[in-house]
């Protein structure tokens, strides 16, 4: 044993913040400490079993590892012991003194100080071991790493107020004891009867036996028999027949695998038979995890092989666009004693991943078909992540497309339009799916380009934000109908156009040629072209883009991110039926400032920032003064 002194160390700042917040905000839910500690104990046993595949001697002391709950009414302590992997001194210091999750700093920076909201967030973040301090004013951990000698165990102790101590100690077996010195106000918990009640509520899905001291009635008194008895079935929940699992057990298992205190939105449980045999138990959460946008996040779906935990690297089991899925996959065929690296390249694992992806898509299809309100909830939480699938998973593109939801001119601001619904609402003669992009769907809804579509009562999808810009690259067609961006090119409405529209448009270009020329001269190189349009009904002008140009919203986004983007000049289109434009046709009515103003107005309507805002205001004011003079004010 390396002789090491007792050390006093400080918690990482985030741990201090968490301890403070947790004790205050989670007190009403104080029983969660038991769930968290049992989860840790069961994970530790899973890890030991995995290590024991290569080193079977690790299981020789305790061939059937268990979790034991001890209650000492005299000392007012509750002890959770496990025969798991244990921790070295260094591991104790880092695991029980810091929070290793990615995004921790950002998470704490985002807390609002509103207790209710923060309590919910911290629940999602996962309080883990630190939840001990909700009910304990001192916690002692005695742990021995599997494989280490008995006298190199570690004793960790803290009162949860900023510091902890570590020192060497002895422990007969591998594993960990967590001893909670219960606060005086929580002494009601120091009762086998109480704990048994809590545990039966949420430990039945745990695949490790949980034992408590067996009591007996003797002479009307409860006495401890000195024996242990199991209080759960101790068999993996997912391996049991569906018919034997209650809804509550499914939910409890979800809390266990996901560390999410809220109930799941839905789940799917299947035994896949055939060439590859495996069981899937996969859940859709009802709350977004705090690190949803961390594409490198792991830990969503755990892989087991014949009930032995192998890894929780979700990227091997689920595509990234389904990273919100939680649960377990248990294979009958994968080899147990194989390195994780080789496993990751296994073709069987790929088959499991493809099968599970399809299963998740079916689960979402069912949710959409049978519980529309819950699907809307799902969409609000995870829709933007699912969209990534359009790029990431070409094989399932069609199915993903059907799961997409959009805001459209027919949904009153709600993200409820499906592509199938759009097709059903298409007008006779309509051959394309029309969309317009803006910084947000609300901004897109204000585009003057929609005027003609409103007049013809044709639905347009309102796309907003960078993800939608990206998404549209993959949306070339849906069930034979192509997607058409209404802000691009010389919009051809095909059979939707009125009979003479084309001719009329050509006539207009001739009729208004003098005005068009004046505009071109005044605007010079700031536009690519000026032409008359029939796509506006109210606004005097709009800007559209060349067929090949990047979308303006995308260009704005790239510029904001400091990226160089090829400049493409807009095309200014004028509405001949607008009184202002009609008036400019008249003798002496035009001045170059009018041309500039109309272009600037159209740019503002598109959500663009003006190159020369001061010039715009000046021009506007000059026009106002002129019009006052004209009215004789
Ligand atoms: N009983 C135990 N045996 C072995 N290691 C443990 C035990 N309890 C905790 N640990 C170690 O301490 C780490 C931190 O535990 P903690 O409960 O705070 O977080 P977690 O389990 O990683 O995640 P979560 O916050 O989601 O519960 C664990 O990841 C594990 O490595």
The CATH number linked to 446 is 3.40.50.11260
pLDDT: is 312 or 471 the higher one?
A: 471
Is the domain of 25 the same as that of 169?
yes
Of 127, 128, 300, which is best to mutate to test ligand 1, by the most ligand atoms within 8 angstroms of its C-beta? 128
Nearest atom in ligand 1 to the alpha carbon of residue 125 is: 25
Distance CA 482, CA 468 (A): 16
Report phi then psi at 60, rounded to 5. Answer: -70, -35
Determine whether the shortest distance from the Cβ of 256 to ligand 1 is under 6 A: no
Known binding-site residues for ATP equal: 36, 40, 82, 87, 101-103, 124-129, 176, 340
DSSP conformational letter for 531? E
Determine whether the shortest distance from the Cβ of 44 to ligand 1 is under 6 A: yes
pLDDT: is 76 or 111 the higher one?
A: 76
pLDDT tens-digit map of 129-165: 999 999 999 999 999 999 999 999 999 999 999 999 9
Q: Give the confidence band of 236 by pLDDT, cuts at 50, 70, 90.
A: confident
Is the domain of 60 the same as that of 201?
yes
Which token pair is 318? 């689920």
Confidence check: pLDDT of 2 > 70? no
User: Is the residue at 400 inside a domain?
Assistant: no
Determine whether the shortest distance from the Cβ of 84 to ligand 1 is under 6 A: yes
Confidence check: pLDDT of 547 > 60? yes
Contacts of 626 (CB under 8 A, 6+ apart): none
Distance CA 272, CA 193 (A): 41
Check: CB of residue 93 under 8 Å from CB of residue 12.
no
DSSP conformational letter for 25? H
Determine whether the shortest distance from the Cβ of 175 to ligand 1 is under 6 A: no
Confidence check: pLDDT of 441 > 80? yes
Q: Please report the pLDDT score of residue 168 as a whole number.
A: 97
User: Is the residue at 557 inside a domain?
Assistant: no
Judged by average pLDDT, the poorest of 104-118, 315-329, 391-405, 479-493 is 104-118
Find the angle CA(501)-CA(505)-CA(510) to the nearest 5 degrees: 150
User: Is the residue at 215 inside a domain?
Assistant: yes
> Which among 523, 545, 617, 540 has a CA at the least distance from the CA of 575?
540
Q: Whose CA is nearest to atom 1 of ligand 1?
A: 41
The CATH number linked to 602 is 1.20.120.790
Confidence check: pLDDT of 456 > 80? yes
Q: Whose CA is nearest to atom 30 of ligand 1?
A: 95
Q: Give the confidence band of 101 by pLDDT, cuts at 50, 70, 90.
A: confident
Distance CA 397, CA 394 (A): 5
Is the domain of 474 the same as that of 517?
no
Determine whether the shortest distance from the Cβ of 126 to ligand 1 is under 6 A: yes
Its ipTM equals 0.97
Is the domain of 440 the same as that of 533?
no
Determine whether the shortest distance from the Cβ of 483 to ligand 1 is under 6 A: no
Is the domain of 510 the same as that of 534?
yes
Confidence check: pLDDT of 564 > 80? no
Q: Please report the pLDDT score of residue 69 as a whole number.
A: 96
Judged by average pLDDT, the poorest of 240-249, 417-426, 564-573 is 564-573
Q: Please report the pLDDT score of residue 233 as a whole number.
A: 77
The CATH number linked to 369 is 3.30.230.80
Is the domain of 193 the same as that of 75?
yes
Q: Please report the pLDDT score of residue 428 as a whole number.
A: 87
Q: Whose CA is nearest to atom 13 of ligand 1?
A: 95
User: Is the residue at 552 inside a domain?
Assistant: no
Look at the chain and report how many structural domains it folds into.
4
Question: What's the whole-number mean pLDDT along residues 537-566?
Answer: 78
Question: What's the whole-number mean pLDDT along residues 162-170?
Answer: 96
Q: Please report the pLDDT score of residue 294 as a whole number.
A: 67
Q: How far is the CA of 95 from the centre of ligand 1 (A)?
A: 7
Residue at which a domain ends, from 496, 513, 537: 496
DSSP 56-102: GGGGSS-SS--EEEEEETTTTEEEEEE-S----HHHHHHHTTS---T
Surface-to-core class of residue 235, CB atoms within 10 Å of its CB (0-12 exposed, 13-18 middle, 19+ buried)? middle
Distance CA 473, CA 227 (A): 66
User: Is the residue at 277 inside a domain?
Assistant: yes
Q: Please report the pLDDT score of residue 393 as a whole number.
A: 96
Is the domain of 330 the same as that of 470?
no
Q: Please report the pLDDT score of residue 407 as a whole number.
A: 96
Distance CA 451, CA 457 (A): 10
Among 36-45, 199-208, 223-232, 606-615, top mean pLDDT goes to: 36-45
Residue 479 gets the label, from left (phi > 0), alpha (psi -120 to 50) or beta, of left
Confidence check: pLDDT of 289 > 90? no
Q: How much of the chain exceeds pLDDT 70, in percent?
A: 92
Of 67, 69, 129, which is best to mutate to test ligand 1, by the most ligand atoms within 8 angstroms of its C-beta? 129
Determine whether the shortest distance from the Cβ of 95 to ligand 1 is under 6 A: yes
User: Is the residue at 207 inside a domain?
Assistant: yes
Among 124-128, 288-292, 451-455, top mean pLDDT goes to: 451-455
Q: Whose CA is nearest to atom 4 of ligand 1?
A: 86
In Å, how far from its chain's centre is CA 275?
Answer: 33
Is the domain of 460 the same as that of 583?
no
pLDDT tens-digit map of 417-436: 999 999 999 998 888 999 99
**Domain that residue 151 falls in:** 7-230
Is the domain of 202 the same as that of 265?
no
Q: Please report the pLDDT score of residue 313 as a whole number.
A: 66
Q: Please report the pLDDT score of residue 483 as a whole number.
A: 94
Check: CB of residue 428 under 8 Å from CB of residue 521.
no
Which token pair is 297? 């996040």
Confidence check: pLDDT of 29 > 90? no
Q: Please report the pLDDT score of residue 72 as a whole number.
A: 95
Nearest atom in ligand 1 to the alpha carbon of residue 84 is: 3
Judged by average pLDDT, the poorest of 188-197, 238-247, 519-528, 540-549 is 540-549
Q: How far is the CA of 544 from the centre of ligand 1 (A)?
A: 57
Is the domain of 516 the same as that of 433?
no
Average pLDDT taken over every residue of the chain: 88
Check: CB of residue 301 under 8 Å from CB of residue 318.
yes
pLDDT: is 116 or 298 the higher one?
A: 116
Confidence check: pLDDT of 3 > 70? no
Q: How much of the chain exceeds pLDDT 90, in percent?
A: 53
Q: Please report the pLDDT score of residue 566 as a whole number.
A: 74
Which token pair is 175? 């594993």
pLDDT tens-digit map of 4-23: 789 999 999 888 888 888 87
Question: What's the whole-number mean pLDDT along residues 91-110?
Answer: 82
Determine whether the shortest distance from the Cβ of 314 to ligand 1 is under 6 A: no
Confidence check: pLDDT of 247 > 60? yes
Sign of the four-CA dihedral 147, 149, 155, 156 = negative
pLDDT: is 118 or 253 the higher one?
A: 253
Q: Please report the pLDDT score of residue 124 as a whole number.
A: 64
Confidence check: pLDDT of 314 > 60? no
Confidence check: pLDDT of 66 > 90? yes
Q: Give the confidence band of 279 by pLDDT, cuts at 50, 70, 90.
A: very high
Q: Whose CA is nearest to atom 11 of ligand 1?
A: 95
Q: At what angle do helices 501-511 and 513-523 cross, to 10 degrees?
A: 70
Distance CA 171, CA 155 (A): 10
Nearest atom in ligand 1 to the alpha carbon of residue 41 is: 1
Distance CA 554, CA 466 (A): 7
Is the domain of 452 the same as that of 586?
no
Alpha-carbon separation of residue 288 from 254, 299, 401 (angstroms): 14, 14, 22
Determine whether the shortest distance from the Cβ of 552 to ligand 1 is under 6 A: no
Question: What's the whole-number mean pLDDT along residues 313-339?
Answer: 83
Determine whether the shortest distance from the Cβ of 104 to ligand 1 is under 6 A: no
Largest CA distance in the chain: 115
Q: How far is the CA of 320 from the centre of ligand 1 (A)?
A: 25
For 193-247, give the secondary structure using H, E and C: HHHHHHHHHHCCCCCCCEEEEEEEEECCEEEEEEEEEECCCCCCHHHCCHHHCCH
Q: Whose CA is nearest to atom 14 of ligand 1?
A: 95
Residue at which a domain ends, from 209, 230, 251: 230
Residue at which a domain ends, from 230, 254, 287: 230
Question: What's the whole-number mean pLDDT along residues 574-594?
Answer: 89
Is the domain of 225 the same as that of 254?
no
Q: Give the confidence band of 246 by pLDDT, cuts at 50, 70, 90.
A: very high
User: Is the residue at 301 inside a domain?
Assistant: yes
Determine whether the shortest distance from the Cβ of 132 to ligand 1 is under 6 A: no
Q: Give the confidence band of 243 by pLDDT, cuts at 50, 70, 90.
A: very high
Q: Please report the pLDDT score of residue 478 as a whole number.
A: 96
> Which among 212, 188, 215, 187 has a CA at the least distance from the CA of 199?
212
pLDDT: is 607 or 229 the higher one?
A: 229
> Which among 129, 136, 116, 156 has a CA at the least distance from the CA of 43?
129
User: Is the residue at 123 inside a domain?
Assistant: yes
Q: Whose CA is nearest to atom 12 of ligand 1?
A: 95
Q: Give the confidence band of 120 by pLDDT, cuts at 50, 70, 90.
A: low
């Amino acid at each position: 044993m390396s002789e090491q002194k007792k050390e006093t160390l400080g918690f990482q700042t985030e741990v201090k913040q968490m301890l403070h917040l947790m004790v205050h905000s989670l007190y009403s839910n104080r029983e969660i400490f038991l769930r968290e500690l049992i989860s840790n104990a069961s994970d530790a046993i899973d890890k030991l079993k995995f290590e024991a595949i290569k080193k079977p001697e690790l299981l020789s002391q305790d061939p059937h590892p268990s979790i034991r709950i001890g209650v000492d009414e005299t000392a007012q302590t509750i002890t959770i012991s496990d025969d798991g992997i244990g921790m070295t001194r260094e591991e104790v210091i880092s695991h029980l003194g810091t929070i290793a999750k990615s995004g921790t700093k950002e998470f704490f920076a985002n807390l609002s100080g509103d207790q209710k909201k923060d309590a919910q967030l911290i629940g999602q973040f996962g309080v883990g071991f630190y939840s001990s301090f909700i009910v304990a004013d001192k916690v002692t951990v005695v742990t021995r790493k599997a494989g280490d000698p008995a006298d190199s165990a570690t004793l960790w102790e803290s009162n949860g107020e900023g510091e902890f101590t570590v020192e060497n100690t002895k422990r007969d077996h591998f594993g960990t004891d967590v001893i909670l010195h219960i606060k005086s106000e929580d002494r009601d918990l120091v009762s086998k009867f109480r704990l048994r009640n809590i545990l039966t509520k949420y430990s039945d899905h745990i695949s490790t036996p949980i034992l408590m001291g067996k009591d007996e009635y003797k002479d009307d008194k409860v006495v401890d028999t000195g024996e242990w008895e199991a209080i759960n079935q101790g068999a993996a929940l997912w391996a049991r027949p569906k018919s034997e699992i209650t809804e509550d057990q499914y939910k409890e298992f979800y809390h266990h695998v996901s560390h999410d205190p809220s109930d799941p939105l839905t789940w799917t449980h299947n035994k896949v038979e055939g060439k590859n045999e495996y069981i899937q138990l996969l859940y859709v959460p009802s709350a977004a995890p705090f690190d949803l946008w961390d594409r490198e996040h792991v830990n969503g779906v755990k892989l087991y092989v014949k009930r032995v935990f192998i890894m929780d690297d979700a990227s091997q089991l689920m595509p990234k666009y389904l990273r919100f899925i939680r649960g377990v996959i248990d294979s009958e065929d994968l080899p147990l004693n194989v390195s994780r690296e080789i496993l990751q390249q296994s073709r069987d694992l790929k088959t499991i991943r493809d099968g599970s992806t399809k299963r998740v898509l079916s689960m979402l299809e069912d949710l959409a078909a049978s519980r529309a309100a819950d699907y809307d909830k799902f969409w609000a939480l995870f829709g933007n992540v699912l969209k990534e699938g359009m790029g990431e998973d070409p094989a399932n593109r069609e199915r993903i497309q059907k799961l997409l939801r959009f805001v459209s001119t027919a949904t009153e601001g709600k993200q409820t339009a499906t592509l199938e619904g759009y097709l059903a609402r298409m007008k006779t003669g309509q051959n394309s799916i029309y969309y317009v992009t803006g910084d947000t769907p609300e901004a897109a809804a204000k585009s003057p380009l929609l005027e003609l579509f409103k007049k013809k009562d044709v639905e347009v999808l309102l796309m907003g934000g960078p993800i939608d810009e990206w998404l549209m690259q993959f949306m070339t067609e849906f069930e034979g109908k192509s997607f058409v961006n209404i802000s691009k090119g010389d919009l051809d409405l095909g059979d939707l156009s009125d009979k003479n529209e084309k001719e009329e448009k050509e006539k207009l270009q001739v009729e208004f040629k003098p005005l068009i020329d004046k505009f071109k001269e005044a605007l010079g190189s700031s536009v690519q072209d000026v032409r008359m349009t029939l796509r506006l009904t109210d606004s005097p002008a709009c800007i559209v883009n060349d067929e090949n140009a990047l979308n303006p919203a995308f260009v704005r986004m790239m510029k904001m991110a400091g990226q160089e983007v090829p400049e493409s000049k807009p095309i200014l289109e004028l509405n001949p039926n607008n009184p202002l434009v009609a008036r400019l046709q008249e003798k002496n009515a035009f001045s170059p400032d009018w041309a500039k103003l109309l272009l600037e107005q159209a740019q503002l309507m598109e959500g663009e920032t003006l190159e020369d805002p001061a010039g715009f205001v000046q021009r506007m004011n000059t026009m106002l003064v002129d019009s006052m003079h004209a009215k004789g004010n």
